[in-house]
Chains A and B, each alone.
Chain A
Amino acid sequence: MNHKAGTVRRPYVRPMQGWWRRDPFFVRYMVREVTAVAVALYALILMGGVVCLAQGVLAWNLWLAAMRSPWSLLLHGVLLYAMFVHAKSWFEIMPKTMPMMFVGGQRVAGSTITRCGWAATALVSVGVLGLACWWAVR
């Protein structure tokens, strides 16, 4: 900053503490970021299952029993909800993260991109569930 004689220039920089609490929009953003932890946590739980499977029958059965405990079911409920919130908030911002797309000379609307995200999720979910059911009754 140039301080010429006779002028007072002292720009004031406001603090950034707690910036994300200032607006509901930022709170929703932080929720999206935090729910990513739930996604990572569940990946670790599944990874634990694979490790137990590699260790033998005893370890695998222990892991299965742990998965069936009430606490585990509660955790599954919480993580599933967190994942749903994460997917929803990501699909909402997804159109902004993509290059413009044109189909038949028309620009693809943001809402269409969001719906494609949900459609892919539904497709994969039904596919995985179907596979699990087929595995169970086989």
Chain B
Amino acid sequence: MPEARKTIEIRVMRYRPEQDDAPVWQSYQVPYTDDMSVLQGLQYIKDELDGTLSFRWSCRMAICGSCGMMVNGQPKLSCQTFLRHLLPGPVRIEGLAHFPIERDLVVNVEGFIEKLEGIKPYIIPKQQRTLAQGEHLQTPAQLEQFEQFSSCINCMLCYAAHRYNADSRDGGREQRMEIMNAEEGVWGCTAVGYCSEVCPKHVDPANAVNQNKVNSAKDYFLRFLSPKGMHE
């Protein structure tokens, strides 16, 4: 970066479990250009100033969802956040809030992954179809019911802001209902709405959670009426 003369202060919350009892802030002076993202600032630190800094990243273009971190206290994709918008600095960076810190900006996401696996985040077909039967056809209206929610890249910014059954091809609603009905399921949401505010993909997770409250409530009350007796 030959033309980088302007510098900005980046303060990173460091945590090295082998030497730190608690996280400590460390400051770096980083030369920047107008087209540099926060992620590129961190990469400059790692390449040129301090190779011990740990952080996750992959695609650099807001697709993979790996580089989520708190930038000035707000959950952001660091590849999508530009240093020029954070002038004059300092820029405070810490690992995603509400997750345990493993090292520096790397957080432990096991809890999220377990929950994600638990809700079976894939289509469970109502009926198995053979290849000869062709593809599942959907109307534009059926697509719109879930399309925005399928844009989720699992970046977990919504988790850091606070603490996912609408596909017409899917028949797995009952299998997921037990998890959603649990107290730590959808009912723990008190409609703060910040998760939707910070979502980089306009998925609107608050709306997704609250739609499932409607489903959960229907499941609870309709079981008294259900002739099938399928619910416990």
Chain A residues with CB under 8 Å of chain B are 8-14, 16, 22-23, 25-26, 29, 33, 93, 95-100, 102, 105, 107
* Contact yes or no, B194 A29, CB < 8 A: yes
Q: List 10 A-B contacts (CB under 8 A).
A: A8-B18, A11-B17, A12-B22, A12-B100, A25-B192, A29-B192, A29-B194, A98-B210, A99-B214, A100-B166
- B43 CB, nearest partner CB in chain A, Å: 24
In the complex, per-residue mask of B181-219: 1 if CB is within 8 Å of any chain A CB, else 0: 000000000111110110000001011001101100000
- B14 CB, nearest partner CB in chain A, Å: 11
Please name the residue on chain A nearest to B189 by beta carbon. A97
> Is B174 an interface residue when CB atoms closer than 8 A count as contact?
no
In the complex, per-residue mask of B137-176: 1 if CB is within 8 Å of any chain A CB, else 0: 0000100110000000000000000000010000000000
Please name the residue on chain B nearest to A102 by beta carbon. B141
- A79 CB, nearest partner CB in chain B, Å: 23
Residues of B within 8 Å of A8, CB to CB, are 17-18
Complex-state Cα separation, A16 to B99, whole angstroms: 11
Complex-state Cα separation, A63 to B102, whole angstroms: 62
* Contact yes or no, A11 B18, CB < 8 A: no
Find residues 118-153 in chain B having any chain A CB closer than 8 Å to their own CB.
141, 144-145
* Contact yes or no, B207 A93, CB < 8 A: no
In the complex with contacts A11-B100, A12-B22, A99-B214, A25-B194 CB distance below 8 A: yes
Q: What are the 3 closest A-B residue pairs judged by CB atoms, nearest first? A: A11-B100, A10-B17, A96-B206
Among the listed A14, A26, A99, which residue makes an inter-chain contact with B211, where contact means beta carbons less than 8 Å apart?
Answer: A99
Residues of A within 8 Å of B166, CB to CB, are 100
Residues of A within 8 Å of B211, CB to CB, are 98-100
Among the listed A10, A23, A100, A105, which residue makes an inter-chain contact with B145, where contact means beta carbons less than 8 Å apart?
Answer: A100
Which secondary structure characterizes the binding site on chain A?
Answer: loop
Chain B residues with CB under 8 Å of chain A are 15, 17-18, 22-23, 73-74, 97-98, 100-102, 108, 141, 144-145, 166, 190-194, 196-197, 204, 206-207, 210-211, 213-214
- A57 CB, nearest partner CB in chain B, Å: 45
- B103 CB, nearest partner CB in chain A, Å: 9
* Contact yes or no, B73 A23, CB < 8 A: yes
Complex-state Cα separation, A12 to B20, whole angstroms: 10
* Contact yes or no, B210 A12, CB < 8 A: no
- A16 CB, nearest partner CB in chain B, Å: 8
- A22 CB, nearest partner CB in chain B, Å: 6
* Contact yes or no, A12 B101, CB < 8 A: yes
Among the listed B74, B144, B196, B206, which residue makes an inter-chain contact with A107, where contact means beta carbons less than 8 Å apart?
Answer: B144
Residues of A within 8 Å of B145, CB to CB, are 100
- B212 CB, nearest partner CB in chain A, Å: 10
Residues of A within 8 Å of B102, CB to CB, are 9, 11
Please name the residue on chain B nearest to A19 by beta carbon. B97
- B158 CB, nearest partner CB in chain A, Å: 12
Given contacts A11-B17, A25-B194, 13 further A-B contacts (CB under 8 A): A8-B18, A10-B17, A11-B102, A12-B17, A13-B101, A23-B74, A26-B194, A93-B206, A96-B191, A96-B206, A100-B166, A102-B141, A105-B141
Among the listed A12, A33, A95, A107, which residue makes an inter-chain contact with B23, where contact means beta carbons less than 8 Å apart?
Answer: A12
- A109 CB, nearest partner CB in chain B, Å: 12
* Contact yes or no, A93 B191, CB < 8 A: yes
* Contact yes or no, A95 B194, CB < 8 A: no
Please name the residue on chain B nearest to A33 by beta carbon. B190
Please name the residue on chain B nearest to A11 by beta carbon. B100
